[in-house]
Amino acid sequence: MKITSAVVSVVLLATAQTAIGQLPAADVSRFTIKDFTFENGQTLPSAVVTYATRGRLNAAKDNAVLLPSPYAADLHAYDAFIGPGRTLDPNKHFLILTGMFGNGQSSSPSNTPAPHAGPDFPRVTIRDNVRATHQLVTEKLDITRLKAVVGSSMGAQQAYQWAVSYPDAMDSIVAICGNAKQYPFGVIRLEGSIAALKADSAWNNGRYTQPPVRGLRAFAMHYAAWSRSPTTFPRDMLDRMSDQQVDQFLRSLEAPALGMDANNVLSQAETWKRHDIGDTPSFNGDVEAALRSIKARVLLMPCRSDLYFPVADAEYEAKFLQHGELVVIESTAGHAAGGGADPQAVSFIDQKLRSMLE
Amino acid sequence: MKITSAVVSVVLLATAQTAIGQLPAADVSRFTIKDFTFENGQTLPSAVVTYATRGRLNAAKDNAVLLPSPYAADLHAYDAFIGPGRTLDPNKHFLILTGMFGNGQSSSPSNTPAPHAGPDFPRVTIRDNVRATHQLVTEKLDITRLKAVVGSSMGAQQAYQWAVSYPDAMDSIVAICGNAKQYPFGVIRLEGSIAALKADSAWNNGRYTQPPVRGLRAFAMHYAAWSRSPTTFPRDMLDRMSDQQVDQFLRSLEAPALGMDANNVLSQAETWKRHDIGDTPSFNGDVEAALRSIKARVLLMPCRSDLYFPVADAEYEAKFLQHGELVVIESTAGHAAGGGADPQAVSFIDQKLRSMLE
């Protein structure tokens, strides 16, 4: 099975500089876990985590870097950051790219048989993803300790959770445009995307026979603004367009979501909404205690113009880290800067990754 | 006819500190213009501008302050800023509060008979509102020169347009959390609210028989996040709530839009989306030339955390003003700070208004 471009990273919806497809398609591998029980108590008889690797694991098994996928993304999510000469160079590191539950390739509402299909798919947490990926890394790939877990957006949420759930499993984590907990503003923001999709009666509580196209369009339009920033677009960008041309431009922003499955994006949105490393067993909801427990070196890279993972939250989290460093990405691209939308930000992130990995 | 609380300012959706209803209900007056032709060429046989006044016009007729309503607001929109001891003191100034076309009280899709009802209502511009209000001020109230036009959000857009369309009609304008032109990011943001509402098939291209409730809920949820900021809500706000309680809280944010008429809020959203003082005849789309033409003193008050009228845009606009001053509202309340959601911001705005009006 080849990676397709059907699953397009939502953070890149509004950019023409999408990195998707820059690298040659890699074979998607499938790691199957029998009787995987999710935190909500539901068990899938056969849970699949899709992954791809680039480069080779060295003899000492100490050059593995895990890159868990962000929201609505496939295994190409980090293409902009990977390549010869970059820090994430497959000639130096063994890169492990994993797909989240719900992304349409790993076990998802869209590809799981009854009785767990569609809206009956288990409610997934970031911890569920991390536990499954941990099994992949330790059991299948036979790696005890990762050099790093590097993630952007929901990938950063997974990196954070790795460091809390498996404190001895990595040297460092890098959280780009992501957080340790989804704070209330983000919950309300995410609920806007969920409400926009569900406003389409064709959604039918997830039991649709045809895609809820209006809802998916509204969902994409939600992200078209949220994933960027007020400083992203030139002030005169629409000046020489007729009303009809402006409308065509706006409609073009809706197109990427039309290839998405509604239950899949809703599943991942619920995962995002509920993320809190403080809910890891033994921390009793105390996010600060969970942050203090992290042994790995932590590099936090929020983006100045990110509308949903503000710098202030990263500053708050950094206060509780034993070995934390906070470096702000000064980009006008908004959240999408963490997904490769801004070439200067890509270089900046690459450079800071180097200081962690080399 | 009494002012009802049915029309609730959307900028205040997410706040418990709503100012609506603080002042006693005032009688709504109606100013009727026969054969009012909108910029799009459509003519209403009888266009109505609703308004209320507070205080008395002095003999010199030089104490009148116009306060045009913001988005989805009634004549109570500025209640938080009005009262004895405040700068906007009815004992000193003659306050004229006006309602925009489409707000459900002035001529709107919801209250205009066929053939201009509902989706057949003329497409409205900010200039249409300003021209109609100018007729009210000059013909009905017999005022040649206003002391000031003070507006927040779409009220600020109207204040700006007043200064361009009628440069000798006021001493000063105050634009709080608003702009001279809707820049592209705001267009995309607004389109998100429009798409969320229209995702509901009950909307039926505006020819609904029952309110499109799902769409209105999604519309409200859009504003629940956008009208505030990532810094508005305490990070532990949802910590002690069950999943069910969080859901109840989120649903409560949707409630205010249920009293709104879909065609009305869509009409005003289109007005907002298309605003550009540069489109005033004789400026040929040149917003900078329009800004340079303003004779009045201008006080720009963007809010630091406003997600749709960023400080950067106000800084850009201020560069072209002959008599401009920019003062940033340092509030974490987001756009809603300009609507009275933050008591400290209300005091700060009051104090800066004083320097303009006294």
**For the whole model, what pTM was predicted?**
0.93
For B170-179, b where at least 16 C-beta lie within 10 A, e where not — what string? Answer: bbbbbbbbbb
Q: Describe the crossing of helices A243-254 and A213-226 by its angle, rounded to 10 degrees.
A: 100
Where do runs of H (alpha helix) occur along chain B?
126-135, 154-165, 184-198, 213-226, 243-254, 262-273, 287-292, 311-318, 343-357
Band of residue A26 on the pLDDT scale cut at 50, 70, 90: low
Complete DSSP assignment for B309-338: S-HHHHHHHHTT-TTEEE--B--SSGGGGG
Contact A259, A165 (CB under 8 A): no
What confidence score (pLDDT) does residue A19 get? Answer: 34
Could you tell me if A312 lies within 8 Å of chain B, comparing CB atoms?
Answer: yes
Residues 6+ apart with CB under 8 A from A220: A10, A13, A253, A254, A255, A256, A257, A258
N residues, chain A: 358
Subunit contact A184:B221, Cβ cutoff 8 A: no
- pLDDT higher for A12 or B295? B295
pLDDT tens figures, A284-331: 999 999 999 999 999 999 999 999 999 999 999 999 999 999 999 999
Which residue does chain A place closest to B234, by CA atoms? A184
pLDDT tens figures, A118-146: 999 999 999 999 999 999 999 999 999 99
What confidence score (pLDDT) does residue A10 get? Answer: 32
Band of residue A13 on the pLDDT scale cut at 50, 70, 90: very low
Report the gap between the CA of B165 and the closest CA in chain A (Å): 20
Contact B122, B107 (CB under 8 A): no
Q: To the nearest whole number, what is the mean pLDDT of chain A?
A: 92
Cis peptide before A109 (omega within 30 of 0): no
For B74-87, b where at least 16 C-beta lie within 10 A, e where not — what string? Answer: bbbbbbbbbbeebb
What confidence score (pLDDT) does residue A25 get? Answer: 52
Catalytic residues of B: 153, 306, 335
Is residue A1 over pLDDT 60?
no
Subunit contact B191:A221, Cβ cutoff 8 A: yes
Domain ranges in chain B? 10-181+276-357, 187-268
What confidence score (pLDDT) does residue B358 get? Answer: 86
SS3 B68: strand
Report the gap between the CA of A279 and the closest CA in chain B (Å): 10
SS (H, E, C) B148-167: EEEEECHHHHHHHHHHHHCC
Complete DSSP assignment for A60-73: TS--EEEEE--TT-
Cα atoms found within 13 Å of the Cα of residue A311, Cβ hemisphere only: 12
N residues, chain B: 358
Distance of CA B95 to the CA centre of its chain: 16
Q: How far apart are CA A25 and CA A6, in angstroms?
A: 13
What confidence score (pLDDT) does residue A256 get? Answer: 87
The closest alpha carbon to B148, from B133, B163, B129, belongs to: B163
Subunit contact A188:B285, Cβ cutoff 8 A: no
Q: Tell me which residue in B185, B230, B253 faces A225 most closely, judged by beta carbons.
A: B185
Could you tell me if A310 lies within 8 Å of chain B, comparing CB atoms?
Answer: yes
- Name the amino acid, one letter, at B194: I
Residue range A10-180+277-357 in CATH 3.40.50.1470? no
Q: For the sheet containing B146-152, what is the strand order?
A: B29-37, B43-54, B94-98, B64-68, B146-152, B170-176, B297-301, B324-326
What confidence score (pLDDT) does residue A20 get? Answer: 35
Residues 6+ apart with CB under 8 A from A119: A109, A205, A206, A207, A263
Mean pLDDT of the A141-156 span: 98
Report the gap between the CA of A102 and the closest CA in chain B (Å): 21
SS3 A201: helix
Mean pLDDT of the A227-240 span: 94
User: What is the mean pLDDT of each successive set of 10 residues along chain B, which is 358 residues long?
Assistant: 27 33 65 98 98 97 98 96 97 98 98 98 98 98 98 98 98 98 98 98 97 98 96 94 95 93 98 97 96 98 96 98 98 97 98 94
Return the percentage of chain A with pLDDT > 90, whole number.
91
Is residue A34 over pLDDT 90?
yes
ipTM: 0.92
Subunit contact B195:A196, Cβ cutoff 8 A: yes
Contact B133, B151 (CB under 8 A): no
Q: Which CATH superfamily is domain B10-181+276-357 in?
A: Alpha/Beta hydrolase fold, catalytic domain (3.40.50.1820)
Which residue in B39, B181, B188, B306 has the most chain A C-beta atoms within 10 A of its own C-beta, making it the best mutation to test that interface? B188
Q: How far apart are CA A152 and CA A336, in angstroms?
A: 10
SS3 B280: coil
Which residue in B200, B242, B311 has the most chain A C-beta atoms within 10 A of its own C-beta, making it the best mutation to test that interface? B200
Is residue A18 over pLDDT 90?
no
Subunit contact A230:B285, Cβ cutoff 8 A: no
Report the gap between the CA of B320 and the closest CA in chain A (Å): 15
Q: Tell me which residue in A189, A199, A228 faces B218 most closely, judged by beta carbons.
A: A199
Residue that has been written with the tokens 């505030």 in this structure: B228
**Six token digits for residue B213:** 């409730």
The closest alpha carbon to B344, from B80, B77, B9, belongs to: B80
Cα atoms found within 13 Å of the Cα of residue A179, Cβ hemisphere only: 31
Where do runs of H (alpha helix) occur along B204-286?
213-226, 243-254, 262-273
Could you tell me if A253 lies within 8 Å of chain B, comparing CB atoms?
Answer: yes
Angle (CA) B248 A194 A270, round 5°: 75
What confidence score (pLDDT) does residue A206 get? Answer: 98
Q: Tell me which residue in A200, A201, A310 faces B231 most closely, judged by beta carbons.
A: A310
Contact B232, A185 (CB under 8 A): yes
